[in-house]
């Protein structure tokens, strides 16, 4: 059953701690990330995620593994919660990291996955899909689909319940999560979680771009990300696996959770996506965080709002998978 989604989003001032963080970052005068080689940008992202996040909750175990992918083995990291000795099979969550299809990896989202593992009480499988510009569209899409099919086939081996699968991601990873769920269309995939999803190209900006440009995420870096991902393939601008707001097939999605941030350039497209999915008859829970910025799930040592996002998603997954 759908919840009533609000046509207008709540407005609030920027979280004071996040405002201070942004001011401090601006004062450092670092070069724009889009001006750096991808390898350096990736290193900076790893360092930021490690230094600005609180220690993750204690979980049961973490293991590195691989699964077959379209172009070779895909690295995985598998997180299992503490069970207190109870051996009941747990639901399994495939998590697809953000980073604009260019700079994220297993390390940037290690704390995120540990946190979701703890609060959702699920086995979490994180996948290190191929990145642009070395591997442009559709490499990441193909890897996300392969990883989801692997999770469906191997959930029991992981100590999971093959009938209770979910897929989630943040930013670019949220787009990949939706695309994988829509492509696979498995009844066992019971839930989709999206934190500040990418749903359209920055050359078609919604009003939230102008309002929030430079609040961590900039139009410049988004153009670099998307240019790298598209790899000069103009036809991808209309492809349903990229331009979500121009696509359909949402009726095939499972119950969906969408989180949007009030001071995020992607706020409006995430809200529009939630409305589109709900209009297709899917049960949608839209959580809006009016004082938050993009990437706040990494900044839990700066402000508690990022942890609130993850705990809200984790609780929703507990109740819906």
> What residues are labeled active site?
171
Record the tokens describing residue 184, joined without a space.
């696979």
Report the C-alpha gap between 114 and 62 in whole angstroms. 9
Distance CA 2, CA 63 (A): 37
User: CA–CA separation, 318 vs 67, rounded Å?
Assistant: 26
Q: 76 forms bridges with which residues in the sheet?
A: 65, 127
Measured in whole angstroms, the distance separating CA 11 from the mean position of its chain's CA atoms is: 23
Phi, psi at residue 66, to the nearest 5°? Answer: -140, 160
Contacts with 196 (C-beta within 8 Å, 6 or more apart), sequence order = 98, 170, 171, 174, 259, 260, 261, 264, 266, 267, 270, 294
User: Tokens 């920055």 identify what position?
Assistant: 202
Q: In Å, what is the CA distance from 195 to each residue of 50, 172, 204, 248?
A: 19, 9, 20, 20
Describe the strand order of the beta sheet including 72-80 as a list of residue ranges: 61-69, 72-80, 123-127, 90-96, 160-170, 189-195, 255-261, 284-289
1: exposed, middle or buried (C-beta count within 10 Å: 0-12, 13-18, 19+)? exposed
First vs last C-alpha separation in the chain? 15
């Amino acid at each position: 059953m759908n919840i009533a989604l609000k046509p207008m989003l709540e407005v609030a001032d920027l979280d004071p701690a996040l405002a201070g963080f942004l001011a401090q970052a601006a004062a450092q005068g670092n070069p724009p990330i889009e001006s750096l080689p991808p390898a350096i940008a990736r290193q900076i992202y790893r360092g930021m995620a490690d230094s600005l996040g609180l220690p993750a909750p204690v979980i049961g175990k973490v293991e590195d593994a691989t699964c077959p992918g379209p172009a070779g083995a895909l690295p995985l990291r598998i997180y299992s919660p503490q069970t207190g000795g109870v051996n009941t099979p747990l639901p399994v969550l495939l998590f697809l990291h953000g980073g604009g299809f260019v700079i994220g990896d297993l390390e940037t989202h290690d704390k995120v996955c540990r946190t979701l593992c703890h609060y959702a009480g699920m086995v979490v499988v994180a996948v290190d899909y191929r990145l642009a510009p070395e591997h442009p569209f559709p490499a990441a899409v193909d890897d996300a689909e392969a990883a989801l099919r692997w999770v469906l086939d191997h959930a029991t081996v992981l100590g999971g319940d093959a009938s209770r699968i979910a897929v989630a991601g943040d930013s670019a990873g949220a787009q990949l999560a939706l695309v994988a769920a829509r492509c696979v269309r498995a009844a066992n995939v019971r839930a989709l979680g999206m934190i500040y999803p990418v749903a359209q190209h920055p050359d078609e900006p919604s009003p939230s771009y102008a309002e929030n440009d430079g609040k961590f995420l900039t139009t410049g870096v988004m153009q670099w990300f998307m240019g790298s991902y598209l790899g000069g393939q103009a036809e991808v601008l209309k492809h349903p696996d990229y331009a979500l707001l121009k696509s359909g097939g949402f009726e095939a999605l499972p119950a969906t959770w969408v989180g949007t941030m009030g001071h995020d350039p992607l706020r409006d497209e995430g809200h529009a996506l939630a409305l589109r999915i709900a209009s297709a008859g899917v049960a949608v829970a839209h959580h809006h965080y009016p004082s938050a910025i993009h990437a706040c799930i990494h900044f839990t040592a700066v402000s508690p709002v990022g942890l609130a996002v993850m705990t809200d998603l984790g609780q929703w997954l507990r109740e819906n998978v």
